[in-house]
Amino acid sequence: MSARIILVRHGRSGHVHTGWIDAAGFQRWRDAYDAAGLLPGERPPPALEALARQAGVVVASDLPRARASAELLVPGAEIPTSALLREMEQPIPPLGDARVPLAVWALAIGLRKALGALRGEALPAAALRRAGEAAGWLIELAAERGDVLAVTHAWFREVLAAALVERGWRRACASGRHARWTRYARWRRYAHWSAWALIDARQPGP
């Protein structure tokens, strides 16, 4: 069976914000979010824990919430971390001096991202280059260790998956002992702890 590269979004952050913020406050929130670990009591789904235990190696972004997520998936294991798997930094929306809830800032970022995709705007060259380097690293690990589970972030995962597809990998569906996990992944594919699996399209499928 060909090795898989499984891209997992981290668990929920321990940094919780309430109240309205302006652009400067949004930047402070983002810095605090990156510095925080996981929400107390956060746990991954059991099916994902089982998948992580069966992987040849679990790796993670070096940001605290991703490292902590990987440690929950494989307690006590050695977990290589890399800045290559960090989240993409989205430009702060041009809302002027407006003070609005955090959800509005998130919505504005998402809308601008969607509009850029509709217009066919290219992603930043630095992000594409980093995704290519990360894809190459994960492919090398898969060749050496078998299944690779990488804990990363919501938006960067999209770019990383695309970089893997460009290198001959394709989305894969689990079967047999992983069927339960596959249903979970399809159902909540963008949520925290959601997982995407890719397999080398040049190799026989599972």
DSSP assignment string, 95-129: -TT--EEHHHHHHHHHHHHHHHHHHTPPPPHHHHH
**Is residue 184 very low, low, confident or very high in pLDDT (cuts 50, 70, 90)?**
very low
Give the separation between CA 199 and CA 185, rounded to whole angstroms.
16
> Quick one: fold of 4-200?
Rossmann fold (3.40.50)
Residue 198 has pLDDT above 60, yes or no: yes
Mean pLDDT of 109-129: 84
pLDDT score of 183:
46
pLDDT score of 53:
96
pTM of the model: 0.86
Structure-block tokens of residue 120: 């066919």
The helix/strand/coil state of 39 is coil
DSSP H or E segment with residue 161? helix 154-166
Mean pLDDT of 60-78: 97
Structure-block tokens of residue 24: 């400067």
Q: Which residue has the higher pLDDT, 37 or 95?
A: 37
Structure-block tokens of residue 102: 């955090």
